[in-house]
Structure 1
Amino acid sequence: MKTSCQVAKAGVTRRGFLGLAAASAVIAGSGIAGCSPAKPSETGADAEQAQTVPEIAESEIKETKEADVVVVGLGVAGVAAMRSAAEAGAHVIAVEKTSIANCRSNMFAAFNCDTARKLGIPDTDPTEIGNELMTQMAHRADYRVINTWLKHCGEAFEWYTGAYKDLLLLGPEDAFPENPDQIYLYAQSVGGSTYRPGIDHEHLFEACCCVGGGDETHRPILEANIEKALETGNAETVFDSPAVKLETKDGKVSAVVCKNLQDGTYTRYTASKGVILASGDYSYNDEMLQKYAPWVYAHKDNYLFSHEGMDCKGNHASTGDGQKLGISVGGHLDIAPHAIMAHIFQFGVENFIELNERGERFCNEDLSMTNIAKVILNQPGSKVFQIIDAKANDYYPIDEMLPMMRSYGDGETYSAEADTLEELAAKLGFDNDAASTFVASIERYNELCEKGHDDDFGKAAEKMHPIIEPPFKAVTYDTLKHTSVEDVSCMRLLVTMGGLVTDTNARVLDDDLNPIQGLYAVGNVQGGRFVDDYPFSLSGASHAAALTYGYLAGEHIVNGETAE
């Protein structure tokens, strides 16, 4: 996603842009673990998933390699776990299903550390964030699991970004670097509170560090961490090698069997200290989607599945491998429904009225891009429309945001323009009762703006702006429009978040909530972090949790209690 740099090139100052990003929807780039969960035999779901793990005959295993720790998966969580364990002195073998290490976003929640302070991010009480996240997740996640990564995310982020030499830190008043290859850190938003009680519908925290430059993911930093691990002399990586079976000995996970995709043979990797599962989500496993995220499965056509990770045979990589492996040795998943991360970016969303295909207003528009996405799915048809009048520039910097909007989709910003509301409705395809409702909804909205109170949905008065001065314009969002993974105005499904229930050391727990010896889960294989819903109050939360638990698990699997 090319956001901050594009706006900078369009002439907007960094502080100005960051203020816009905070004022509009923030732009992106479990059972109850304290209680005994239902056993697989009671739900059937976990047991069925476990049956998909194949039996491998000893004669099919070509060779055995010895290690202290085996890490399954090389995304941000797996890379962090590999480096952390290697720096703690363990011999680590990291196996990856695809041909390269994987990363996408450039955003990490990080605070209460020197790096964050230099970027302008204020210190924050992690328990305040934790309580807000739990509230948004109906308290179905695990407080302890959440508070652990919130407490350590700043320290983990400094350790992780410290692997990259010549990293530039940008304070609030610093300009973006002109050199496109310069890798730098900046804060997503600075310069004031992002939550005003009684005005803002959602509580957003200023605690997101972003990586800029290069391809605008954090890949340069990810690769620097791989190099750091390899430089210890304790780590090695193996690609094109999905894990297909966990082995146990004397009640402890002792080895991983991997398939070598290049020649179809198998290799056993023994793990004297244990295995860390970090193989990602299950977006492309239809059976798991149907069981654990049924509303996603029911609306599959409305989502652009944006994870492009593929193995060397052309198969999607995100198929829940780690979740199934954990189940096969006695672990269990968060009880459904699982959280997903799904976004749709809308242009200045809280400032404008939003109508569905029947011409009806349907929500308080002051929603983050993850929450408006869920509301849109409940509307008839696939399209929603934002209506804007000629005075919009008085309360929203449209001209400054246009370059960003034009970078998405087909390069167009407005789908229709007219001098009357009736004409605008016709151009958008409304007819008969829907056209009348379209006009009546806007007139009702104008009355509420004049009244100074949104009787229908409770949007703050300062965000209510009448649609009265022509020309009138519309922005159309169609959840069946799947242009590309770069286009965040599509309904993009990034990852599923359901994973194996763990303790605060990322150790996978059995049905009695006791650790399974030698088995850890981090990243999107780990449960308890985001359950029922993925809250948008803390941008970069998913990356932060993955990084932090990889960092902590890598040390804990080597040093045990001394690492706590």
Structure 2
Amino acid sequence: MAQTIVVGGGLAGLSAAHTLLERGANVLLLDKQGFMGGNSTKATSGINGAGTQTQQEQGIPDNSKIFFEDTKKSARDLARDDLIRVLTGRSGDAVNWLQDKFGLDLSKVSRLGGHSHPRTHRGDAQFPGMVITYAQMERLEDLAVSNPERVRIIKKARVTKLVKDQSGTVTGVEYLHNGKTESAEGPVILATGGYAADFTEDSLLKKYRPELWDLPTTNGDHCTGDGQKLAMAVGAHGIDLEKVQVHPTGLVDPNEPDAKVKFLAAEALRGVGGLLLDNTGKRFVDELQHRDYVTGKIWENKKYPIRLVLNGNASKDIEWHCKHYVGRGLMKRFENGDALAKEFGLPPSVLKKTFEDYNQSVRTQKDPFGKKFFQGEWKYDDFFHVAIMTPVLHYTMGGLEIDPESRVLDGSGKPISGLFAAGEVAGGVHGANRLGGSSLLGCVVFGRVSGDSAASYLLQSTGAIVQKAGGRLSALAGQLGAGSSSSPAAPTAAPAAAPGKAAMGSYTMAEVAKHNKKDDIWVVVDGQVLDVTSFLPDHPGGEKAIILYAGRDATEEFNMLHDPKVIPRYAPDAVIGRVKA
């Protein structure tokens, strides 16, 4: 069976790969990172879906038509009805697919800004983007081991060229791996992400939105517009490249307020009832408005710092996020209103008045800022979680022009044979502004669409027969429909040390504490001592997430975010011993 080349190992690429396998095609996945996942692992609010099984069970009267209208309103004059219909019409099926095929918990549903119904799904534990992406990633890696003739994954492989034949058909790629130029043949699905961290010499960000160049970003440094540039070099048409979304709520680290890369404050924090207050302790915006609108009001108001405040009910509703942000030093907890007022540097009467005004809006359902959806009244005698916010570069709505079958189009609007795109690399899906919760959705929906289209293209172009029963395909289908075949490894099982690492042994916490620099960094997880110095550049959450715990016990934070099998699966060579009792 001929192979399809998937470029990019984030959620869009993974969804495309799994769909190709379900259709009987072979997959070669090339990812330029040492650890797959991309920005998808950072998504913190959830995935949208209309008419899902979860919504039906909770009596939420949502459907794809309502979701279409919400999305079209957000996209405004750049709305592409054909693409929005695909995104919203297949949204319920996408969420159900994740639950059915990968056994995911997506039982909690919230309403984010711009949505007329609760439709953003997440589970009780961990960030939804990480949970969804890891489930697909681990399943694909298992299949690469059990079915290497069907699935190949090459990491740290940077695609440098799309290869075309004389007819203009894309027939493969050239890529750099281990310092050598390699080539691969087959139709190509680009799933390389956006360009909101494109600070390179040929930056798309600087070319199309130079005024945003100096803003901080939530994106990993891999988001440099690789797929867009590769495709446009062979005649693909870029669309809406000036449409770059600035998210209103990036978390400011008090210890590094000017850091270029910021951690995102999930929109779900406002969805559960969080309020945005300026330095006078007053509201200035409907917290659930579209992202670009809230960002504009922050810039218009100019009363910094802007703080996101969650009361007790909101904090409990999204407890895991709060605990995570507090652990990273990005959020503080205050036990009462007086402590909160002190943090603001304001008299208690100011915050009491703010809460009273808000409660009046809750009671009358008439808000001076136009808010329509409320999560109950506020009490001054309560506990609070608070973080400082700043607008950040977040998502690029622009990208490669595609049709509803995820085929990449050229400048005349015709499909480039053999080339498909999914996820943030594709433009036009979200128009002028993306709704919260639709990034993961776009990855899954168009990942699946591109997988379907590429499999169909293979069938038509090669005459290959896609069998759905018999032999290895039956076994593969069984693995695709079952839970992850990898079982959690015991945390006490430490492998032999890698060359250059310290010898296996026992270490005191005092010894661990000495290794607290970027070029020599140890951490402790569940009693194991890890030398993560060489793993630092490959960590999908960025270097800072590890450096924060340099020379310390990171067990609580690690276990909040990761499955127990992550270390033996992805960083076994980092384990160098155990902490002395």
TM normalised by structure 1 equals: 0.63
**1:256 matched residue in structure 2:** 173
Residues 233/466 of structure 1: CA separation in 2 closer, same or farther (3 Å cut): closer
Is 1:267 aligned to 2:188, yes or no?
no
Is 1:288 aligned to 2:204, yes or no?
yes
Superposition pairs of residues 153-168 of structure 1, within 5 angstroms = 153-156=91-94, 163-164=101-102, 167=103
Residues 540/95 of structure 1: CA separation in 2 closer, same or farther (3 Å cut): closer
**1:99 matched residue in structure 2:** 34
Q: Deviations over 1:439-486 (max 9, x none)?
A: 89849947965994757423359779588xx66987643236xxxxxx
**1:141 matched residue in structure 2:** 79
**1:376 matched residue in structure 2:** 298
Is 1:299 aligned to 2:212, yes or no?
no
Superposition pairs of residues 180-259 of structure 1, within 5 angstroms = 184-189=104-109, 202-206=115-119, 208=121, 210=123, 216-228=131-143, 231=147, 233-250=149-166, 251-259=168-176
Residues 84/345 of structure 1: CA separation in 2 closer, same or farther (3 Å cut): closer
**1:70 matched residue in structure 2:** 5
Contact 2:194 2:223 in 1 (8 A): yes
Give ranges in structure 1 of 5+ residues lacking alignment.
Answer: 1-65, 168-183, 308-315, 481-490
Secondary structure of 1:511's match? coil
**1:458 matched residue in structure 2:** 370
Contact 1:188 1:210 in 2 (8 A): yes
Is 1:511 aligned to 2:411, yes or no?
yes
- More deviation in 356-365 or 345-354? 345-354
**2:500 matched residue in structure 1:** none
Give ranges in structure 2 of 5+ residues lacking alignment.
Answer: 248-263, 466-581
Contact 1:205 1:538 in 2 (8 A): no
Match of residue 277, structure 1, among 184, 190, 208: 190
**2:66 matched residue in structure 1:** 128
Contact 2:276 2:306 in 1 (8 A): yes
Secondary structure of 2:15's match? helix
Superposition pairs of residues 110-125 of structure 1, within 5 angstroms = 110=49, 124-125=62-63
Match of residue 333, structure 1, among 215, 238, 251: 238
Residues 245/207 of structure 1: CA separation in 2 closer, same or farther (3 Å cut): same
Secondary structure of 1:254's match? strand
Secondary structure of 1:478's match? strand
Contact 1:201 1:366 in 2 (8 A): yes
Match of residue 109, structure 1, among 44, 48, 58: 48
Contact 1:384 1:476 in 2 (8 A): no
Is 1:532 aligned to 2:429, yes or no?
no
How much is the aligned-residue C-alpha RMSD, in angstroms?
4.5
Q: Deviations over 1:262-302 (max 9, x none)?
A: 2x22012222xx221111222321222233455643432xx
Percent of aligned positions that are identical: 19
**1:85 matched residue in structure 2:** 20
Give the structure, 1 or 2, with the largest relative contact order (CA under 8 Å, sep 6 or more).
Answer: 1
Secondary structure of 2:184's match? strand
Residues 385/120 of structure 1: CA separation in 2 closer, same or farther (3 Å cut): closer
Give the AA of the match of 2:135.
Answer: P
Give the AA of the match of 1:189.
Answer: V
Contact 1:74 1:94 in 2 (8 A): yes
Aligned mates of 2:344, 2:430 — CA distance in 1: 38
Secondary structure of 1:513's match? coil
Residues 138/270 of structure 1: CA separation in 2 closer, same or farther (3 Å cut): same
Give the AA of the match of 2:151.
Answer: A
Residues 496/336 of structure 1: CA separation in 2 closer, same or farther (3 Å cut): closer
- More deviation in 501-510 or 341-350? 341-350
Contact 1:387 1:473 in 2 (8 A): no
Residues 339/132 of structure 1: CA separation in 2 closer, same or farther (3 Å cut): farther
How far did 1:509 drift? 0.8
Residues 282/336 of structure 1: CA separation in 2 closer, same or farther (3 Å cut): closer
TM normalised by structure 2 equals: 0.61
Contact 2:5 2:30 in 1 (8 A): yes
Secondary structure of 2:401's match? coil
Superposition pairs of residues 493-508 of structure 1, within 5 angstroms = 495-508=395-408
Residues 306/413 of structure 1: CA separation in 2 closer, same or farther (3 Å cut): farther
Contact 1:277 1:520 in 2 (8 A): yes
Residues 289/438 of structure 1: CA separation in 2 closer, same or farther (3 Å cut): farther
- More deviation in 368-377 or 286-295? 368-377
The size of the alignment, in residue pairs, is 432
Aligned mates of 2:364, 2:61 — CA distance in 1: 36
Aligned mates of 2:141, 2:135 — CA distance in 1: 10
Match of residue 338, structure 2, among 418, 429, 437: 418
Aligned mates of 1:545, 1:521 — CA distance in 2: 12
**1:45 matched residue in structure 2:** none
Is 1:478 aligned to 2:410, yes or no?
no
How far did 1:551 drift? 3.4
**1:357 matched residue in structure 2:** 279
Q: Deviations over 1:297-347 (max 9, x none)?
A: 3432xx4x253xxxxxxxx32211101011101112222432437453486
Contact 1:344 1:369 in 2 (8 A): no
Aligned mates of 1:440, 1:231 — CA distance in 2: 63
Aligned mates of 1:246, 1:472 — CA distance in 2: 58
Contact 2:281 2:344 in 1 (8 A): no
Residues 206/331 of structure 1: CA separation in 2 closer, same or farther (3 Å cut): same
Give the AA of the match of 1:299.
Answer: L
How far did 1:212 drift? 5.2
